[in-house]
Amino acid sequence: MGCFCLKKVRNKSGYKDPTILASETPFTVNEVKALYDLFKRVSSSIIDDGLIHKVEFQHAVFRNSSKQNLFADRVFDLFDVKHNGVIEFGEFVRSLSVFHPNAPIADKIAFLFRLYDLRQTGYIEGEELKEMLLALLGESDLLLSNDMVEMIVEKTMVEADSNGDGKIDEEEWREFVKNNPSVLKNMTLPYLKDLTSLAFPSFVLNNEAEIVGNK
């Protein structure tokens, strides 16, 4: 009764014991088990191999596996810690834990920095901000003119790039977020504290323009 099917999944690729994952994240053992049910649904939706492929991730986020989006691609890449083109269960839980209400703020800030650091240079440049903002707007109901987008990017760079070198480093980013806490709004999913009836995380479609300090 209440079997987590340990015998069946213990040999699955990427499987991690829920007790271990609970000790490494803000999730309880029961919450990790609930996440495994979600993971199983997503990882078997197109390719039933116990791993989440990008096409399955796209389908879970947008209900349309043929729709490409820079934001979804970046989130997938950050969840794919091993950079092998798939998300294993352990990667899924650990990565998703940053969105937990009890996750350290520093972890949320760091995750968001890596999300915007599209070229993985250790800096966020204005063009990267613009690319991500346009991708986010493409999935929201908010319509902004090109001039408004440029203004948001310019305003963010002016405020965040304190040393004026044309890019935002991690220290500048932390200070910018400290002064603009609304930037972290989408980095917390309250329902992760009560994993009863769980759908795929909806972190993509939550008023995304706020994420770069659009006030």
Q: 128 and 78 share a domain? A: no
Domain boundary among 42, 70, 98: 98
Residues 92 and 113 in one domain: no
17-40 mean pLDDT: 92
Per the structure, how many domains does the chain have? 2
Per-residue pLDDT band for 15 (boundaries 50, 70, 90) equals low
Give me the pLDDT at residue 206, please. 44
Do residue 88 and residue 124 come from a single domain? no
Q: Residue 54 is encoded by which pair of tokens?
A: 């990008």
Q: Which domain holds residue 82?
A: 16-98
Q: Are residues 21 and 78 in the same domain?
A: yes
* pLDDT at position 132 over 80: yes
Q: Which of these ranges, 6-15, 26-35, 67-76, 113-122, has the smallest mean pLDDT?
A: 6-15
Model confidence at 130: pLDDT above 60: yes
In the chain, alpha helices (H) = 6-9, 18-24, 29-43, 54-62, 70-79, 89-96, 105-116, 126-137, 146-160, 170-179
Distance CA 69, CA 149 (A): 18
44: domain CATH number is 1.10.238.10
Per-residue pLDDT, averaged over 122-143, amounts to: 86
Q: Which of 52, 81, 98 is the last residue of a domain?
A: 98
Residue 199 lies in a domain: no
